[in-house]
Amino acid sequence: MKEIYNPNPIISVFIEESEHFIKPVCYELIGKAKELASNNNMEIFATLPTNNPNLNLDKLKYLVEHIDIYQYSKNTNLSMLDYRDCLIDHINLHKPMIVLVGATALGRSFAPRVAAHFGTGITADCTELEFDHKYGLIQIRPAYGGDVIAMIKTPAHYPQMATVRPGVMEIPQYKNITVGSVQFHKINYIHEEINILKRKVIKIQGTKLENTDIVVLAGNAIKYPKQLEIIKQLAKLLGGEWAVTRPLVEGGLAPHDRQVGISGKTIHPKLVMAFGVSGTTQTLSGTSKAEKIISINNDENATIFKNSDIAILGDWEEIAKGIIKKLI
């Protein structure tokens, strides 16, 4: 029988360090946590497992009320079980009402274990969070493959947990006047059931998607590699990157790191040109931050037309080829 969890008015944010930096999503989570906490006198805590003694915490200290640093001895590659232990320890120490973790590869992998440990709920890949005075954390994410948005609550279990997609929330602009307290926990034990033999930074070709001004997006109407080549050529001529929606990845036409949408990437370019994209919530949640969207589709009832700045009714292939002709 689990002991009763009496939650304290605390929102805890898991801080992920990678290659001497704190991942931006952690600041985004703190920004959202501050917003959620603003009307209810809640405090923001942070927890950070690290084996880096020189990590710069100046920015973090001014954003939160308290930080637990789990300091591992040097040259130890932490595994997800070690991250799990740290977050469980932090939660046991403070009994926060809410725990937020970035939906990074690491966060998506270890945070569910922490939720299972406490027998509580966790909602993956939230795109928005709200605070309800009766139910606490309201977790919002696209559902059923992405056509609709679901609001999910965890009414009677604590902590209320969520992982949040990187890039969808704002980094906080203001700082606290006071510096948060920092507590160091020296950890000598690491799990031996998982041993990280090698860790190497990879340069993903698709990472440019998040940092490019123009994205040419291929949708469900693109069925063959030859058609995708047209999209790639157009992207190249415009000085941008090509991307795809989920069916193309599932159909094996493109790798996952080119996928835009809830189960892919959130992008914020100046322009998205969507060819043959129907406009599921799955896709639109990945493109909603684009400054402008031009869509080309032969179905006048396509949902994407209601979410575009310019909607062109026509054959995507002819129009793409027409633009290419003008640009060459």
89: amino acid identity, one letter: D
Whether residue 293 contacts residue 243, with contact meaning beta carbons closer than 8 Å, is answered with no
Q: Is 20 in the site for other proteins (CB under 8 A)?
A: no
Least CB distance from residue 243 to other proteins, whole Å? 16
Candidates 38-46, 53-61, 153-161, 173-181; binding stretch for other proteins (CB under 8 A)? 153-161
Whether residue 185 contacts residue 71, with contact meaning beta carbons closer than 8 Å, is answered with yes
Candidates 32-40, 55-63, 194-202, 220-228; binding stretch for other proteins (CB under 8 A)? 194-202
Candidates 57-65, 89-97, 148-156, 216-224; binding stretch for other proteins (CB under 8 A)? 148-156
Determine the Cα–Cα distance for residues 91 and 75; give it in Å rounded to an integer.
Answer: 26
Question: Strand 96-102 relative to strand 160-164: parallel, antiparallel, unpaired?
Answer: parallel
**173 Cβ partners below 8 Å, 6+ apart?**
none
Least CB distance from residue 274 to other proteins, whole Å? 12
Residue number, 182 or 312, with CB nearest to other proteins:
312
Q: Of 36, 44, 97, 115, which lies in the binding site for other proteins, with binding defined by CB under 8 A? A: 115
Candidates 28-36, 50-58, 220-228, 300-308; binding stretch for other proteins (CB under 8 A)? 300-308
Backbone torsions φ then ψ of 253, nearest 5 degrees: -80, -25
Determine the Cα–Cα distance for residues 32 and 100; give it in Å rounded to an integer.
Answer: 10
Looking at residues 239 to 298 of the shown chain, list those that interact with other proteins (rule: CB under 8 A). 250, 252, 255-256, 262-263, 270-271, 280-282, 284-285, 288, 291-294, 296
Q: How many residues bind other proteins (CB under 8 A)?
A: 96
Determine the Cα–Cα distance for residues 290 and 294; give it in Å rounded to an integer.
Answer: 10
Candidates 26-34, 51-59, 138-146, 225-233; binding stretch for other proteins (CB under 8 A)? 138-146
Q: Is 232 in the site for other proteins (CB under 8 A)?
A: no
Q: Is 138 in the site for other proteins (CB under 8 A)?
A: yes
Residue number, 51 or 120, with CB nearest to other proteins:
120
The phi-psi region of residue 278 (left if phi > 0; otherwise alpha if psi is between -120 and 50; otherwise beta) is alpha
Q: Give strand pairing partners of 278.
A: none
Q: Is 109 in the site for other proteins (CB under 8 A)?
A: yes
**255 Cβ partners below 8 Å, 6+ apart?**
206, 249
Q: Is 134 in the site for other proteins (CB under 8 A)?
A: no
Q: Is 57 in the site for other proteins (CB under 8 A)?
A: no
Candidates 1-9, 60-68, 104-112, 168-176; binding stretch for other proteins (CB under 8 A)? 104-112
Least CB distance from residue 180 to other proteins, whole Å? 27
**276 Cβ partners below 8 Å, 6+ apart?**
218, 219, 220, 221, 222, 296, 297, 298, 316
Q: Is 199 in the site for other proteins (CB under 8 A)?
A: yes
Q: Is 59 in the site for other proteins (CB under 8 A)?
A: no
Q: Is 299 in the site for other proteins (CB under 8 A)?
A: no
* Three state DSSP letters for 5-53: CCCEEEEEEECCEECCEECHHHHHHHHHHHHHHCCCCCEEEEEEEECCC
Q: Of 110, 131, 242, 275, which lies in the binding site for other proteins, with binding defined by CB under 8 A? A: 110
For residues 126-153, one letter each, b for 16 or more C-beta atoms within 10 angstroms of the residue's C-beta and e for the rest, the string is: bbbbebeeeebbbbbbbbeebeeeeebb
